[in-house]
Structure 1
Amino acid sequence: MHELSVTVGLVDMIAERIPAGVRVSRVRLEIGRLSGVMVEPVRFCFDLVAAGTPLDGACLEVSQPPGWGRCRRCGDEVALPDLLTPCRCGSHEIDLTGGEQVRITAVEVVDGPTNGPTAGPGGGRLAGRGQEVS
């Protein structure tokens, strides 16, 4: 299950950037539908992997952007619910343009220990732009 190693990588990436005494209250991820990463195992692993780190007790929110591609044969933009969906013209020659990402889109933090998933006074955002994860 590579979702465990993906989750470990995400938690490590965030934890190593958190200053001492700051706790993470919320993590927002994008996991594209064509990324090959399953959302439910990441959710399951997150609390276990985050235990004992500044992310311990943080709320995890995951969005799943759809897949998109451009057909090499006709040039149409194609919605891709999966990698086997052909273009309307019948071609499977499609260059992916979206839906492959595993990205941290936001990390909300609070000063000091947190007992729950919501930011209290002094809470803020540490990362607002996406951080790609391979």
Structure 2
Amino acid sequence: MHELAITQSVVDAVCERAAGRPVRSVVVRVGALTAVVADSMRFCFDLVTEGTVAEGALLEIDQPPGSARCRTCGVEFALADLIPLCPCGSADVRVTSGRELQIVSMKVG
């Protein structure tokens, strides 16, 4: 379950940035192609925030869908899974979204 390690890293960064102030909410962006299960991350968040300044904070997860642009035909298309294949049949694609994994914002106070 890699969600635990990822969530622990998020909480560590949030707590460091909070500098002792209580954290009320955290917004993260986790792209659909990262293979992170949002419900697992929420569960882990409650576990790893226990005893920290982020205990009781609300976790909001934004999950942008995967998309790519084909280098062969130039079309932009949605990626539903981790296999980047253009509708034209080309595998020469550039993923343009869905791999994000970042802390967007947090509320303290």
Shared fold (TM-score, shorter chain, > 0.5): yes
Q: Which residue of 1 aligns with 2:81?
A: 82
Indicate the SS of the match to 1:41: helix
TM-score (structure 2 length as normaliser):
0.93
Q: Which residue of 1 aligns with 2:2?
A: 2
Question: After superposition, where does 1:29-40 map in structure 2 within 5 Å?
Answer: 29-40=28-39
Q: Which residue of 2 aligns with 1:118?
A: none
Task: Report the CA distance between 1:85 and its aligned residue.
Answer: 5.3
TM-score (structure 1 length as normaliser):
0.77
Indicate the SS of the match to 2:52: coil
Residues in 2 aligned to 1:90 and 1:15: alpha-carbon distance in whole angstroms: 46
Indicate the SS of the match to 1:70: strand
1:28 equivalent in alignment to 2:27: yes
CA displacement 1:58-78 (0-9 Å, x = unmatched): 001111101111112111111
Residues in 2 aligned to 1:36 and 1:93: alpha-carbon distance in whole angstroms: 21
Residues in 2 aligned to 1:44 and 1:14: alpha-carbon distance in whole angstroms: 17
1:15 equivalent in alignment to 2:19: no
Q: Which residue of 2 aligns with 1:41?
A: 40
Q: Which residue of 2 aligns with 1:107?
A: 106
Residue type of the alignment partner of 2:8: V
CA displacement 1:3-60 (0-9 Å, x = unmatched): 100000000011011123x100011111100012221111110011001111000001
Identity, % of aligned positions? 45
Indicate the SS of the match to 1:17: helix
Q: Which residue of 1 aligns with 2:96?
A: 97
User: RMSD of the alignment, in Å?
Assistant: 1.2
Q: Which has the higher contact order (CA 8 A, sep 6+)?
A: 2
Residues in 2 aligned to 1:99 and 1:68: alpha-carbon distance in whole angstroms: 6
Task: List gaps (5 residues or longer) in structure 2.
Answer: none
The 8 Å contact of residues 32 and 65 in structure 2, kept in 1 or not, is answered as: yes
